[in-house]
Amino acid sequence: MNKLRQSESGFSWFYQRFLNNHITILLLNVFLFLLVVNEVVQNAGLLDPIWKFIGIAAPAIIVAGILYYVLDPLVHWMERRLHIKESIAIAIAMVVTVAILVLIFLNLIPFLTKQTAGIIGSLPQFSNDVIHKLNAANQQHHWLSNDNLNTINQRVSTYFSKRGWNLLTGTLSSLSNVVTTVSDWIITLITAPLVLFFMLKDGSRFPKYLSKVVPTGYRDRFIVMLDQMNVKVSSYIRGQLTVALCVLIIFTTGYSIIGLKYALLLGVIAGPLNLIPYFGSAIALLPALIIGAITSPSMLLGVVIVYLIEWVLETQVLSPLIMGNSLEMHPITIVFVLLAAGKMFGLTGVVLGVPGFAVLKVFVTTIFHWYQEYSALYPDVLPDEALEKPGEGHVEI
């Protein structure tokens, strides 16, 4: 009888310490999740049709999503202030957008094409000017001997001749890829307006539709999470596009004032590149510095002054006023996100990495709050804290 009680007490101790322990259950769930992930990775070939479908649909959805966040405030304004029906307001917004894009393409693209052709045609003269100035500097300071210069010139010419042949063969072999890319763009141009229309029409009802697949007890939390994601992405996209447009205007105006060649083209390059946080403006500065250095030392100084003025306006006025701290991320976090996303997904990752991380951050924060509430390991966390309103209760990561 005593042995039976000892075994029961021993089992009870093992049950309380290990089997009925919150940490054990959590680790077991993590282990099962990793098993599922491992099986998915091992059978990745079965997911090829899904990835192909995502590859076809993603460009149209991304384009429509960006336009949705731009046009949604306009549609709501027309509904509230002008009392226009939703469908008519959406149609007006889309027609105005198409008209603006057509005007830009008809008036701006030919001018930019002319400036681009001018830069390409001036490349030989630019290279000759650079070589001439380097030779003059070398003769003045005696950095390299004539034999060394001849050796460097031969190596450079050999390198570029080989690269040119490789570029030619690569271009001929990639003609099929060009045809595929053009067809993908045509599909995107056709499907994006349809996706955009239904986003504008049903976007506000999407969280409620999606929450129907979630268990009833978690629907409120799920809707709050989607609302937080929407606030983060919308403020980021609208803010970045507004700042990029302002940067385009500042650079174009500044370069035009100092008389720099191809000012409009350089400004148009700087605007979209500014969508890459921290690095975009610096990358856009390089061609302006090259053109300024070739033109004259005073023009180079003017380019630097324009960049400094733009940097002060962007960092001290535009970004704090327009963007604020909507993402609630530390700058170091943004830098590492850009590096990692660029390494994994290229240019698309650099542009979409920061808003993607913001969405992932909201998801992980919501899951962690749920775990705090139900794990009994955080007795100081109240259930109401898990249902935070957008923009509240977040800590910078």
Residues 294, 330 within the same domain:
yes
Residues 199, 242 within the same domain:
no
In angstroms, the CA 29 to CA 37 distance is: 12
Lowest mean pLDDT among 35-39, 128-132, 380-384: 380-384
Q: What's the pLDDT at 396? A: 40
Assess if residue 88 is contained within a domain: yes
Assess if residue 22 is contained within a domain: no
Assess if residue 379 is contained within a domain: yes
Report the chain's mean pLDDT, rounded to a whole number.
76
Lowest mean pLDDT among 74-83, 134-143, 258-267, 351-360: 134-143
Lowest mean pLDDT among 38-47, 148-157, 207-216, 322-331: 148-157
Assess if residue 192 is contained within a domain: yes
Examine the pLDDT at 172 and tell me if it is beyond 50.
no
Query: Taking a C-beta distance cutoff of 8 angstroms, is the pair 195, 64 a contact?
Result: yes
* Tally of CB atoms within 10 A around 61: 17
Examine the pLDDT at 394 and tell me if it is beyond 50.
no
Lowest mean pLDDT among 135-149, 192-206, 209-223, 244-258: 135-149
| Tens-digit pLDDT profile for residues 86-106 | 889 999 999 998 888 888 888
Residues 181, 304 within the same domain:
no
| Tens-digit pLDDT profile for residues 353-375 | 888 888 888 888 888 887 777 76
Examine the pLDDT at 269 and tell me if it is beyond 60.
yes
In angstroms, the CA 136 to CA 302 distance is: 23
Bigger pLDDT: 179 vs 216? 216
The whole domain housing 83 covers 52-144+154-204
Assess if residue 327 is contained within a domain: yes
How many distinct structural domains can be found in the chain? Answer: 2
Mean pLDDT of 317-327: 72
Residue 187, burial from CB neighbour count under 10 angstroms (0-12, 13-18, 19+): middle
Residues 323, 365 within the same domain:
yes
Mean pLDDT of 325-334: 73
Q: What's the pLDDT at 251? A: 92
CA angle 79, 81, 82 (to 5 degrees): 70
Assess if residue 30 is contained within a domain: no
Residues 231, 314 within the same domain:
yes
Residues 292, 378 within the same domain:
yes
> b/e string for 278-310 if b means 16 or more Cβ within 10 A?
eebbeebbebbeebbebbeeebbebbeebbeeb
Q: Following DSSP, what letter does each residue of 332-395 receive, concatenated?
A: HHHHHHHHHHHHHHHHHHHHHHHHHHHHHHHHHHHHHHHHHHHSSS-TT--GGGGSPPTTSS--
Q: Is the pTM of this model over 0.75?
A: no
Residues 163, 228 within the same domain:
no
Assess if residue 345 is contained within a domain: yes
In angstroms, the CA 130 to CA 136 distance is: 10
Residues 194, 272 within the same domain:
no
Tokens for 55, please give them: 């590859």
Q: What's the pLDDT at 249? A: 92
Examine the pLDDT at 5 and tell me if it is beyond 80.
no
Examine the pLDDT at 156 and tell me if it is beyond 80.
no
Residues 222, 196 within the same domain:
no
Assess if residue 23 is contained within a domain: no
Q: What's the pLDDT at 150? A: 64
Residues 200, 223 within the same domain:
no
Last residue of a domain, one of 162, 179, 204: 204
Contacts of 381 (CB under 8 A, 6+ apart): 369, 372, 373
* Tally of CB atoms within 10 A around 229: 20
Residues 324, 263 within the same domain:
yes
Q: What's the pLDDT at 254? A: 92
Q: What's the pLDDT at 125? A: 67
Query: Taking a C-beta distance cutoff of 8 angstroms, is the pair 279, 321 a contact?
Result: no
Residues 309, 349 within the same domain:
yes
